Amino acid sequence: MPRLLLVALLAVPAAPAPAHAAPGASSTPAYMRGGETVPVYDYADAVRESVWVQTTGDADEDGEPDRVAVDLVRPRTEPGVRVPVIMDASPYYACCGRGNESELKEYDANGVISKAPLFYDNYFVPRGYAFAAVDLSGTNRSTGCEDVGGPHEVAGARAVVDWLNGRAPAFTADGSPAVATWTTGRVGMIGKSWDGSVANGVAATGVEGLETIVPIAAISSWYDYTRANGALRSTNYPSFLQSAVSGRVASCTAVTRSLATDSAEETGDYNAFWRDRDYRPAASRVRASVFVVHGVNDLNVTTPQFARWWDELARRGVPRKIWLHQAGHVDPFDLRRGAWVDALHRWFDRWLQGLENGVEREPRATVETAPGVFTDARDWPLPAARPVSAPLGAGVVSYTDESLPEDLAVAHPGAMVPGRVAVRYGPLTAPLRLSGSPSVRLRVRVDRPTTQLTARLVDYGTAPRIQYAWGEGVRTLETESCWGESTAADDACYLDVAQEVSTTDHAVLTRGWQDAAHHVTLRRTTPLRPDRWYTITVPIGAYDATVAAGHTLAVVLTQSDPGYTAAANTGATVEVDLARSTLILPVAGAVTLAPSAAAPHTAHGLTAPARPQRRLP
């Protein structure tokens, strides 16, 4: 799980000179004025075209190299002026749509892109950028196979960067060669969820020409997306994802078989299949700057995805920035629209146009500290944050697996609820700022070879809070706002969105899960013996929040968690030596935490609710 890493402000490379014109042309393109790009090109007159970039693979084993479809919208510039590219590589352009309004690609009668989802083309093309909407391998108009975060998917998207830099061939629909003479070769990848995940993967290849990525609610390890430290989050998930986005499953026998059999669902082990889909170990190859955006209450792509990736990038001094908000799986365009468009504009101007706008010298982190309240910080986790250890108490308590639904598991922390142990700290005499990745280290004895260990941090106290659970914490309004220029086929206007806020008496801050038999390593199981005590750490998802003075913080321990994982109820009874167990919190500021009470119970007999629904990343 993510480690609490305190990082000083790191030096970043000097901005590249804005060299976009051919010899003899003006050194400053018309779209650059006053240190920023401005809209000078007619969006309605933009060049719209499609090319198919050839990759080095043949995932569908048809004897031909796979080709990735790229739909381009680019300004009709003056002779000699070249432009950088904003690229969104996605599996969703035909099946599921992009953005809050689930927009799909649309084509004219000649098969040329007439509508690209999202506002990127509407806003940035008039400002001297091209936009590339890329169908991931095996989706929409691309050939090959969708291998769910794997080598074929990443290689296909990387090939587009190579083509834009003259290193890979591409063809038009009639088979004619296509050469990208109109671009500087500087590429920025952006996208939410799966789209942002492939941006992480391509950056981890170190491909030259990829200057920046903006991963929003993105995956950095597909193992951690489908597993929770050895525990299944959902069964048969890779195969489900492939079938949801690809119409070429029947042509991809080998890949489809691998997704079903090589993912080690029967053990939950981390193996070669998952190493191929883990981008973090290759963080040392990243050349691109990185602008991370994530919701601290994202229950789909959970917070270790950004936190571990962020830590790895920090170790290597990668130029980076982070926005954290309190909603769930949400794009910042649907949360803080004006500020987001401005921040993204300045970020792309800096890293793709080479404009010295000082963005890299600004505070590295922006964090939503209360609903609608965003504050800047020098870094994240907060530089003042330190790990604080809090004992769980004294004596030995036990609890038997009851497959508790979350609302019952966290209700009434002082009550005796079968199947849980709740340890309380407080009421707090001063505000407690958490910033980073908590964990709980348990000294346990288990009467089964394994069980799932679940831990939650809960804030008990009345406060206004964003209602993120499964509704993501936002609602769509009837008004709309426009961001860029429009055509009859592709308008730049989107329904406005507001946060869902209500006052509640408690909230789960963050959660963590650990399969007990994977406590030694995720690469294999180590079954527990009922006569032995073990020290097992349950990592808890990264978080940033302030628990108010007068509130009570609690750690709630349960076992199987039917609302969030697919782990079976083993019927195990877990004994916890409280005196030798510790809650470790990343705390900014001086604080002393002592447990005020523990409420264990060993009775059982509750009925488990239905398993969680599968979700697309």
Hey, what are 350's tokens? 């800096």
Hey, what are 186's tokens? 């500087």
Residue 122 near residue 485 (C-beta atoms within 8 A): yes
Distance CA 71, CA 93 (A): 11
CA atoms within 13 A on the CB side of 288: 30
Hey, what are 493's tokens? 């206007």
CA atoms within 13 A on the CB side of 589: 10
Residue 94 near residue 75 (C-beta atoms within 8 A): no
Peptide bond into 427 cis (omega under 30): yes
Burial of 266 (0-12, 13-18, 19+ CB in 10 A): exposed
Distance CA 40, CA 156 (A): 33
Three-class DSSP category at 72: strand
What number of other Cβ atoms are within 10 A of residue 521's Cβ? Answer: 11
Strand partners, 325: 295
Distance CA 551, CA 463 (A): 10
Residue 218 near residue 196 (C-beta atoms within 8 A): yes
Distance CA 75, CA 423 (A): 60
Burial of 45 (0-12, 13-18, 19+ CB in 10 A): exposed
If you count DSSP H runs as helices and E runs as strands, how many of each does the chain have, helices first?
10, 32
Residue 351 near residue 394 (C-beta atoms within 8 A): no
Distance CA 434, CA 423 (A): 18
Catalytic residues: 193, 298, 329
Could you say which DSSP state residue 278 is in? B
